[in-house]
Amino acid sequence: MIEFLLEMLLELIGEFLLELVMAAVLDLVLRAITKVFETFCFANPVLALASYVVLGALSGGLSLLVFPRPLVHPSRLHGINLLVSPAATGLAMSLIRSILSRHDKKVTQIESFGYGFAFAFGIALIRYLFAS
């Protein structure tokens, strides 16, 4: 029982860290693009949500080139990462947004719960479907 809980916890933490790192990289890329275009942002929220899911799926596909297997041996509740780790990533991105806002720094769209969740969900879905 303890081994099962430990495996599940390691799987959740591993997926969360991968998604958070990839979201942070995308955030940095978007910040660089913003410096060039100064007003980069998706105007339509539905288009933005779909775009972040697609960007997440592409990032998940790229992550399969580096990590073709699951980061941790899948537990019996392997599909739980489709909700838990994207939710944790969304919360982390929301926290980043609030910290930047408090220091009067410019924030990007992905630095919110919804868009951070959408991006991480795209990664998690591709990794769930294709990591062997």
Predicted pLDDT at 75: 67
Write phi, then psi, for 74 (nearest 5 degrees). Answer: -60, 135
Tens of pLDDT, residue by residue over 8-40, are 888 888 888 888 998 888 888 887 776 655 555
pTM for the structure as a whole: 0.77
With a cut of 90, say whether residue 5 has pLDDT above it.
Answer: no
User: At CB < 8 A and 24+ separation, what contacts does 104-112 make?
Assistant: 106/31, 106/34, 108/27, 108/30, 108/31, 108/34, 108/41, 109/30, 109/41, 109/42, 109/48, 109/52, 110/23, 110/26, 110/27, 110/30, 110/52, 111/27
